[in-house]
Amino acid sequence: MSNIKWTLGPPPYKYPNKAPPYKKVCIGIRGQYGDIFMGEPGLRNFIEENPETKIVFAVSEKYKDILPLFENYHENIIELKAFEGYEKWPSEKDLQYIREQNFDAMFPPDIPVHEQDDWPKYRHIVEETALIIGLEAKDRKINLPFPSKITKEPKTASIHMFSSKWPKGIRSINIKKQEAIVKYLKKKGYSKIYQISSPDQPHIKGTIFPKGGTYYEACLKVLSTEIFVSCDSGMPWFTSAFDHPSVVLFSSGYNQLVKTTRNWWPANSKAIYLEEYTADQIPMEQIYEAVDKIIEISK
């Protein structure tokens, strides 16, 4: 277990971690949705190694929609905390909260920073995320309590093919290709296809686009469908926790120092992962074949 000291705001303010055993700690990650999911194996291992320690699990206010997914995660988590700051963290309010809590240690809820640019050559991203936080992941599988508010809808599918960088970046799928995938899903008998996207992203023809909901509600909607087709984003990390049947399209060009994305594929026994330099370069025939296989897996 790392006994690290890390900077809270501008120097010289630092938070000194005490040596274990710990009475109360803060564990979190000030990253995006996918980063938060990736941190779960490290959190789980910490709980196993520190069964008496009380934990405040923290994210940023910007991503607090994810917190309901960690309700009833473990009795040792005594609070789900949303820190106010994000780009400029911690805020004065955050600092006041930290001082009042008197944590024995903080495993930093900071924006992930990789010490090695070519880290995927050596580690899976789940292991890397734990390392960034100052923890250790003993496995790559994400485990979350299954949400109670799920109503399965037969013959439905969901798609999520605009990354958070859209219209920039190389992870999103072009609109024409998305429309072709939707047509193929309809041909296969899926009467409803839900588009999971930000409200400012284009509505793909043939889909139901529920706008205005929270990220938590989007997660519930995906789990209510039979299969999921996605680009590389945070949502496949969520679905991997439940082995939800998924086809995920990856872009190896996202990290040009590594020729494959295999070390940032979620552990999902019912997923098929495809990759090319850009997601748009994945041939449609391969996508259709993967969809056919996932349909069989989902039965």
- Give the CATH number of the domain where residue 194 resides: 3.40.50.2000
Residue pointed to by tokens 């009042």: 100
Q: Which domain holds residue 190?
A: 156-298
| 145 part of a folded domain | no
| 220 part of a folded domain | yes
- Per-residue pLDDT at 171: 93
Shared domain for 125 and 176, answered yes or no, is: no
* Tally of CB atoms within 10 A around 22: 18
- Percent of the chain at pLDDT above 90? 73
Q: Number of structural domains, the chain?
A: 2
| CATH code, 121 | 3.40.50
| 147 part of a folded domain | no
Rama region for 51: left / alpha / beta (φ>0; ψ in -120 to 50; rest): alpha
Q: Residue 234 burial by CB count (10 A; 0-12/13-18/19+): exposed, middle or buried? A: buried
* CA-closest candidate to residue 195, choices 167, 235, 165, 168: 235
| 142 part of a folded domain | no
Q: Find the DSSP H helices in 3-124.
A: 33-38, 40-49, 92-101
Shared domain for 129 and 171, answered yes or no, is: no
| Structure confidence by residue, pLDDT tens digits, 16-49 | 788 899 999 999 887 889 999 999 999 999 999 9
| 85 part of a folded domain | yes
Average pLDDT value for residue range 230-249: 97
pTM over 0.85: yes
